[in-house]
């Protein structure tokens, strides 16, 4: 059994979301201790238990320590279960973070699996659903991962109620390099807001503001019925060997024009850094790099999330990892 210190590095729920799917893929039982030990409220929270419960079902796993506040978890995968699964994460628990935990499993599937999730599609401290659907899926697709994310209903914080279908397809990964330097000339904006905000034209104002900084932007704007009022906007661009994205949630007191400007500036900062993948995408790609056997990319920042994910993956799969702190180039070999 592999034993992992859950307080290492970033020391949050990400260690769990990376370690459990890798346990299933490598068929190595894992014990994680000191879970979120340095957080104000240590141990497993509801959103972490949801991931454990879902992966337990998918892998017919034996699990010990899966309760609120638990700082130690044992996970023993047995066999993959091929049936449609449904899970309500409650209120606005992040669905994109659950998708992160599910996605690597495409590498061991023998036939497709469908998972239906209810919760928060666009919530704080999480990528937006559109970031996962358009940026993350595009990047892991380069490595050969096949998954489909279907949106039925948006769910904003605090009430959530969003509905998403995740379709995972058997995939064979291939090595990949993200080292493109070509300047993007086209940008995509995906923005959504609750119907109540339509009369204030919040999405049009976000789009206009982003266009002032970026130039040509292809916009997909959508007003929708939601349980809680919210706004989310995601920008993306890609060229050969380069995939970059940025997202933002609306908040009280933040004008739509300012949201559009800040979002465009976030993406421009990634572009101007010379990154080939943005700093959030970088840590999400790491497990796929370890499973593919080779992944090379440049990013804008060597975040704790990135370094922690590399460390967790190395516990399961022995690979050489080279990191250039000057150029922010990462090689998984």
* 147 located within any domain: yes
Where among 40, 63, 80 does a domain terminate?
Answer: 80
Structurally, the chain folds into a number of domains equal to 4
Do 291 and 222 share a structural domain? no
Percent pLDDT > 70 in the chain is 100
* 202 located within any domain: yes
Query: What is the torsional sign of CA 78, 94, 4, 311?
Result: positive
* pLDDT one-digit tens code per residue, 6-23: 999 999 999 999 999 999
Catalytic residue among 48, 125, 280, 305: 305
* pLDDT one-digit tens code per residue, 236-254: 999 999 999 999 999 999 9
Tell me which residue range forms the domain holding 317: 276-333
Where among 137, 172, 207 does a domain terminate?
Answer: 172
Residues found in the chain: 333
Catalytic residue status for 305: yes
- The DSSP line for 236-249 is EEEETTEEEEEEEE
CA 293 from chain centre, in angstroms, equals 21
CA distance 120 to 92: 4
Do 141 and 69 share a structural domain? no
**The pLDDT of residue 90 is above 90:** no
* 303 located within any domain: yes
* 205 located within any domain: yes
Query: Which of 280, 302, 180 is closest to 234 using CA atoms?
Result: 280
* 156 located within any domain: yes
Do 139 and 68 share a structural domain? no
Torsion-angle region of residue 15: left (phi > 0), alpha (psi -120 to 50) or beta?
A: alpha
* 181 located within any domain: no
* 264 located within any domain: yes
Do 88 and 61 share a structural domain? no
pLDDT of residue 91: 84
Do 60 and 94 share a structural domain? no
Do 124 and 94 share a structural domain? yes
Q: Which residues, including other chains, have CB under 8 Å from residue 122's CB and lie 6 or more apart?
A: 128, 129, 130, 154, 155, 156, 162, 192, 230, 232, 249
pLDDT of residue 233: 99
Do 121 and 76 share a structural domain? no
pLDDT of residue 237: 98
Where among 253, 272, 291 does a domain terminate?
Answer: 272
CATH number for the domain harbouring residue 68: 3.30.110
* 177 located within any domain: no
CATH number for the domain harbouring residue 165: 3.65.10.20
**The pLDDT of residue 92 is above 90:** no
Query: Angle at CA 93, nearest 5°, toward 92 and 96?
Result: 110
* pLDDT one-digit tens code per residue, 22-62: 999 999 999 999 999 999 999 999 999 999 999 999 999 99
Report whether 200 contacts 140 (CB < 8 A).
no
Report whether 52 contacts 100 (CB < 8 A).
no
Give the full edge-to-edge strand order of the sheet including 62-64: 2-5, 30-33, 73-76, 62-64
CATH number for the domain harbouring residue 256: 3.30.360.20
Residue 99 pLDDT class (50, 70, 90 cuts):
very high
């Amino acid at each position: 059994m592999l034993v992992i210190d859950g307080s290492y590095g970033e020391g949050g729920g990400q260690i769990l979301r990376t370690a459990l799917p890798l346990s299933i893929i490598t068929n190595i039982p894992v014990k994680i201790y000191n879970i979120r030990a340095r957080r104000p409220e240590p141990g497993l929270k509801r959103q972490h238990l949801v991931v454990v419960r879902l992966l337990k079902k998918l892998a017919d796993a034996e699990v010990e320590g899966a309760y609120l506040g638990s700082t130690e978890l044992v996970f023993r995968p047995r066999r993959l279960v091929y049936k449609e699964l449904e899970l309500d994460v409650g209120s606005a628990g992040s669905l994109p973070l659950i998708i992160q935990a599910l996605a690597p499993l495409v590498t061991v599937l023998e036939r497709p699996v469908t998972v239906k999730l209810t919760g928060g599609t666009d919530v704080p401290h999480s990528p937006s659903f559109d970031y996962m659907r358009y940026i993350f899926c595009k990047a892991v697709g380069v490595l050969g991962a096949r998954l489909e994310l279907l949106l039925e209903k948006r769910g904003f914080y605090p009430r959530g109620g969003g509905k998403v279908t995740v379709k995972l397809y058997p995939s064979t990964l291939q090595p990949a390099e993200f080292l493109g330097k070509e300047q993007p000339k086209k940008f995509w904006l995906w923005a959504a807001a609750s119907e109540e905000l339509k009369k204030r034209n919040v999405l049009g104002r976000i789009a206009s503001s982003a266009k002032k900084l970026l130039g040509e932007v292809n916009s997909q704007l959508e007003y929708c019925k939601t349980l809680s009022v919210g706004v989310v906007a995601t920008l993306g661009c890609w060229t050969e060997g380069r995939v970059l994205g940025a997202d933002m949630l609306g908040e009280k007191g933040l004008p739509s024009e300012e949201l559009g400007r800040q979002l465009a500036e976030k993406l421009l900062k990634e572009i101007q850094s010379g990154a080939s993948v943005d700093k959030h995408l970088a840590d999400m790609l790491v497990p796929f790099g370890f499973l593919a056997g080779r992944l090379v990319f440049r990013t804008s920042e060597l975040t704790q999330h990135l370094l922690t994910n590399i460390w967790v993956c190395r516990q399961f799969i022995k690979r050489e990892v080279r990191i250039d702190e000057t150029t922010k180039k990462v090689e998984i070999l």
